[in-house]
Amino acid sequence: MQMSDRVIEIFKQMSQVPRQSKHEEKISAWLYERAKSNGFDVERDDANNIIIRVPATPGYENGPIVVLQGHMDMVCEKTPASHHDFSKDPIEVIIEDGWMHANQTSLGADDGLGVAMALAMAEDKSVEHPALEILVTSDEETGMTGANALKAEQIKGRILLNLDSEDEGIFTVGCAGGRETRSTLPLTKSPIPAGFRAVTIHVAGLKGGHSGCEINVGRASAIKLATRLMHCVLAISSDARLVDIKAGSAHNAIPRDAIVTLAVPAGDAHQITAKIDEMSKVFAAEYAKSDAGVTVTSKIEDIAGDAFDNASLRKVADLLICFPHGVAAMSQDIQGLVETSANLASIKIADNTLHILSSQRSSVASKLNAITSRIEACLRLAGGEAKSNEGYPSWKPEMDSDVLKRCVDLYEKRFGKKPIVDIIHAGLECGIIGSKIPGMQMVSFGPTVVSPHSPQERADVTTIPMVADFLVDLLKSYK
């Protein structure tokens, strides 16, 4: 079996095991048992991190220990039509026309392919390599919990190959740092006046995507579009009320759909739906290239009971339109690189309170603090509260490291062309690991994965053998 076929087979096996972020018990156990069955020494810590120690092959005993690193969890996104249950259903892996994708869900190639590649290297007895430490971390996607829990003494190697990049032919040597903010805004309920109707607005058909890798391509945010529609409604119906609002899911996914239900005077309902139809055409024109499938639909229904009052609706609409989302600044040092951004990731109502999840990224620590402070100020002005976590540090590049020079030379020898050396706006665990283990040389690479963190996620199958063969060459060079 070719190495790339082995990688795909292991990935398919992994895809049978639930591995949603913060629910990694089953995949962690699966990795542990797989390592044991292959006779490897394996450690599973309290954070569900897995460390597999693989002895050097004959002749490589004096080589340096190399760490192959990836994460076990995946962002779980699905289309509105999908009934997939990520807590128990396997991911259906489909390969067609040179691409690998799932059936109406995210694929989990981020970073299942990286983990599968590390396992394939360890399990194939024909691969020559020095001693390996395979580090598979937990909960990378929603907080880098596993990397944060890692202790320096758990890892002996000082050369780390992160297999969590998504563009073949690009070696990543730096990334942004990030923080999450959870915000709350109290709302006030009151009885819905007689003669009111419910108008439910549904924004759908957006591409979404990775809030680090794709924040700069100008894709629409379902939350921001829904917010504009709420302001349109308030311009027509000054006494409109908020019944419910829900949009988005993961902190690192651009929100793809939103549903808002409002209570409005019956006499305003048809004028409002006509305005919604008009705005649907406006949005289609604005996002014809980035989100060609955008749709906005509305329906009118009877309603009774309570709703959040007009003042609450105005607070929500004003807060969300002021809330930062998208690129805030481009790098002054590297052309085309996003320096600072924010992702207004998800909103929902629970316990008479609006809950907002956002994530901020920046390669400049002071700028990361600044945009987070802006969000916190917006909440204070609206009468709410924002709590931000400590986040994770950026990964500062070392352009003259031995591992990078080795990667570039070996890539050029194998493929006859120079690779790209890059810094990305997305977050990688290298920043955390490097801060814990001084002297760690790191580089990140992987096969091409498009639209991660969305149901449109797909992997270019032709790039899997390229990365696998390169990794074989790289390990063989450490004799």
Catalytic residues: 73, 140
Number of C-beta neighbours around residue 181 at 10 A: 22
Which residue from 124, 151, 179, 110 is spatially nearest to 1, judged by alpha carbons? 124
CB-based contacts of 469, cutoff 8 Å, min separation 6: 3, 4, 414
The residue type found at 309 is D
CA 305 to CA 259: how far, in whole Å? Answer: 20
Q: Residue 2: phi, psi to the nearest 5?
A: -65, 150
What would the two tokens of residue 296 be?
């906005």
Amino acid type, 204: A
In terms of phi and psi (left: phi > 0; alpha: psi -120 to 50; beta: otherwise), the region of 205 is left
Q: Which of 448, 423, 441 is nearest to 174 (CA)?
A: 423
Nearest to 440 by CA among 392, 396, 393, 390: 396
- 356 by Cβ neighbours in 10 Å (0-12 / 13-18 / 19+) ranks as buried
Contact criterion met (CB below 8 Å) for 65 and 132: yes
Concatenated DSSP letters for 102-121?
A: -SSB---HHHHHHHHHHHHH
User: CA-based diameter of the chain, in Å?
Assistant: 84
Burial class (CB in 10 A: 0-12, 13-18, 19+), 97: exposed
To which H or E segment does residue 91 belong?
Answer: none
Q: What would the two tokens of residue 267 be?
A: 């006499």
